[in-house]
Amino acid sequence: MTQLIWNGIFIGAFYALVALGYSMVYGIIKLLNFAHGDIYMLGAFGGFAMLTAFGGSVAGGSIVALLIVLVLSMLGTGMFGVVLERVAYRPVRTAPRLNALITAVGASFTIEYGTSLVAGPNPEVYPVQLSGSALHVLDAHINIQQIVLVGIAVALMIAMNLWVLRTRSGRAMRAISQDPKACLYMGVNVDGVISWAFFIGSALAGAAGVMAGAYFGTVNFLMGFIIGLKAFTAAVIGGIGNIPGAVLGGILLGLLESFGTAWLGGQWRDVFTFVVLILLLTVRPTGLLGERVTERV
Amino acid sequence: MSTANALVISDLNVRYGHVQALSGLSLSVGEGEIVAVLGNNGAGKTTTLATVSGVVRAVGGRVTAFGKDITNGKPWDIVGAGIVHVPEGRRIFSRLSVHENLQMGGYLVGDRAAIARRTRRVYELFPRLGERRKQEGGTLSGGEQQMLAVGRALIAEPRLMMLDEPSMGLAPLVVKDIMGVIKAINETGTSVLLVEQNARAALAIADRAYVIETGTVALSGRAADLATDSRVVDAYLGA
Ligand SMILES: Nc1ncnc2c1ncn2[C@@H]1O[C@H](COP(=O)(O)OP(=O)(O)OP(=O)(O)O)[C@@H](O)[C@H]1O
Ligand SMILES: [Mg+2]
């Protein structure tokens, strides 16, 4: 039981990190960024490339080396997200929603098969694999590495939440999600703030990618697809556009999968996710923490 | 009036696709003046303000503020130049608190101490906002939202404040309050460009006024004179 809960939280932390960017981008420009999962994949590949290049110097998989690679990958994926928004999404921002959605699907394929061209279609094995001694908490096996990864994920989520709630640009981001035009009247460079949102969301996805590569050991160019769908599900569970909702949704989805797998068998895991998504969309389309409507006319 | 001009709009042309919204509109606001702009629905009042703010592009003409050409400038440069727009319909951020709404007004003000000082002054000016500082903007009454919209603009400490129909949807007593506040803001040295449908309320506090029809100035003059001009009385002040 404790084991199932821990497994759920561990996987859920990855979902939450990716879901945050998904939900934030949706909240601010109402775009379902289907390429978001692929940014996670790029993070994993970026980490792979750097660790391979540094070669033996990081043998043994020290956490410090991994942290450096993590930060560099976050910067790289963050900038990639900014460029993606600039070249693919900004031109269609005022176009009908469907155009933007198709653009996002196109961006997703472009990134996936572009990566396959550059890095090859076969899965790569991460040069650093985290495996180590396990702690026994109640009756669960918990590795130190898992704790470190969850710790990093939580730290990133807290940092991002502080950014959204406490900083000038975070406040502007929330304001833009409500009324971009009014933000122009306040003198907000709306495009600039949107770029920041893409940077931060993409950096979080990149971080999740590096950690997943290091933990699960392999990376491949399609690895972003499924996690993208799961992050979307997590975002919808929490209420898309809602930042704490994305974290809650990610953890809940992780727990649901963990228990679902235990009861129904591993082959049902992904089916389970989508059943949850469909049920939720039917029963409570606004998600658990979905937007309350308090506007007065 | 005074010698220097806060705002000069000359021969402005604006189009939305095929719709010509402004055709050769010219007006000016002297420093320290309150200038009212009256006109029917669709005359081009909001378009005029939005063009000054850089939110709508002019295809012809010039906008000069405090001696500087700001035609088709970036919205943030225009706010940075001291021109703040209190938009039609208030556009309060409904899910930000009252306090955060005010902070948004100071987006371009680098000095946090100045923002804090001005916020305190807004709470003194509008005690109701101070009492509701933690409340979400969307839950305020219409009058309170208008106070918040004006307060939010004050945080930027504008040299020219442009207000688009601040009296819209408000009870007569509240309209009187708002007009009093605008007059008081003007007396601290802020120039005011006031767009209104409520001609009577606007003319009561304005120094000069323009009447615009289909995108161009049809009539202009001293507010006191226009208030008794038969064309204005018939069309905008009722019998
Ligand atoms: N975004 C837009 N797209 C197309 N046409 C527009 C747009 N905004 C305004 N117009 C048109 O431009 C003209 C001027 O509109 P504007 O909003 O400036 O009028 P207004 O004087 O502010 O009217 P009101 O008193 O109703 O607010 C109108 O004919 C209007 O239909
Ligand atoms: Mg208007």
The whole-chain average pLDDT of chain A stands at 86
Residue A125 inside a domain? The answer is yes
Instruction: Look at residue B41 in the predicted model and tell me its pLDDT.
Output: 93
- Cβ neighbours of residue B127 closer than 8 Å, sequence gap 6 or more: none
The total number of structural domains that make up chain A:
1
Residue A37 alpha carbon to ligand 1 centre in Å: 42
Residue A69 inside a domain? The answer is yes
Res. A56: pLDDT tops 70 = no
Of all residues in chain B, the percent with pLDDT exceeding 70 is 98
Res. A129: pLDDT tops 80 = no
d(CA B192, CA B7): 10
In degrees, rounded to 5, the angle at the alpha carbon of residue A211 between the alpha carbons of residues A206 and A214 is: 125
Identify all chain A residues contacting B85, using CB atoms and an 8 Å cutoff.
Answer: 185
Residue B40 alpha carbon to ligand 2 centre in Å: 9
- Cβ neighbours of residue B63 closer than 8 Å, sequence gap 6 or more: B7, B8, B9, B10, B12, B51, B52, B69, B70, B71
Of all residues in chain B, the percent with pLDDT exceeding 90 is 92
Segment A19-51, tens digit of pLDDT: 999 999 998 988 899 999 999 999 999 988 888
A36 C-beta neighbours (distance < 10 Å), count: 34
Instruction: Look at residue A58 in the predicted model and tell me its pLDDT.
Output: 53
Residue A233 inside a domain? The answer is no
Residue A158 inside a domain? The answer is yes
Identify all chain A residues contacting B140, using CB atoms and an 8 Å cutoff.
Answer: 296
* Contact map slice: A 162-191 vs B, CB within 8 A: 168, 171-172, 174-175, 178-179, 181-189
**Ligand 1, atom 14, residue with closest C-alpha:** B44
* Mean pLDDT within B134-143: 95
Domain ranges (residues) in chain B: 29-57+74-237
A91 C-beta neighbours (distance < 10 Å), count: 12
B29-57+74-237 CATH choice from 3.60.15.10, 3.50.30.50, 2.40.30.10, 3.40.50.300: 3.40.50.300
> Is the pLDDT higher at A88 or at A271?
A88
* Mean pLDDT within B33-42: 96
Residue B47 alpha carbon to ligand 1 centre in Å: 6
Segment B62-72, tens digit of pLDDT: 999 999 999 99
Q: Which atom of ligand 1 is nearest to the CA of B44?
A: 18
Instruction: List residues near ligand 1 (CB under 6 A).
Output: B 16, 19, 21, 39, 41-47, 88, 197
Domain span at residue A94 reads 21-225
Q: What was the ipTM of the complex prediction?
A: 0.93
Instruction: Look at residue B231 in the predicted model and tell me its pLDDT.
Output: 84
Res. A215: pLDDT tops 80 = yes
Instruction: Look at residue A209 in the predicted model and tell me its pLDDT.
Output: 94
The secondary structure of chain B, three-state, reads CCCCEEEEEEEEEEEECCEEEEEEEEEEEECCCEEEEECCCCCCHHHHHHHHCCCCCCCEEEEEECCEECCCCCHHHHHHCCEEEECCCCCCCCCCEHHHHHHHHCCCCCCHHHHHHHHHHHHHHCHHHHHCCCCEHHHCCHHHHHHHHHHHHHCCCCCEEEEECCCCCCCHHHHHHHHHHHHHHHHCCCEEEEEECCHHHHHHHCCEEEEEECCEEEEEEEHHHHCCCHHHHHHHHCC
Q: Residue B84's closest chain A neighbor by CA?
A: A185
Q: Which atom of ligand 1 is nearest to the CA of B39?
A: 21
Instruction: Look at residue A138 in the predicted model and tell me its pLDDT.
Output: 64
Q: How far is CA B62 from CA A274, B32, B217, in A?
A: 57, 21, 15
Segment B148-160, tens digit of pLDDT: 999 999 999 999 9
Identify all chain A residues contacting B53, using CB atoms and an 8 Å cutoff.
Answer: 184-185
Res. A57: pLDDT tops 80 = no
Residue A80 inside a domain? The answer is yes
Instruction: Look at residue A76 in the predicted model and tell me its pLDDT.
Output: 97
The alpha carbon of residue A283 is apart from the nearest alpha carbon of chain B, in Å, by 25
* Mean pLDDT within B202-222: 96
Residue A289 inside a domain? The answer is no
Res. B6: pLDDT tops 50 = yes
A176, A185, A191: which to substitute to probe chain B, counting the most B Cβ within 10 Å?
A: A185
Res. A291: pLDDT tops 80 = no
Instruction: Look at residue B3 in the predicted model and tell me its pLDDT.
Output: 63
Residue A172 alpha carbon to ligand 2 centre in Å: 25
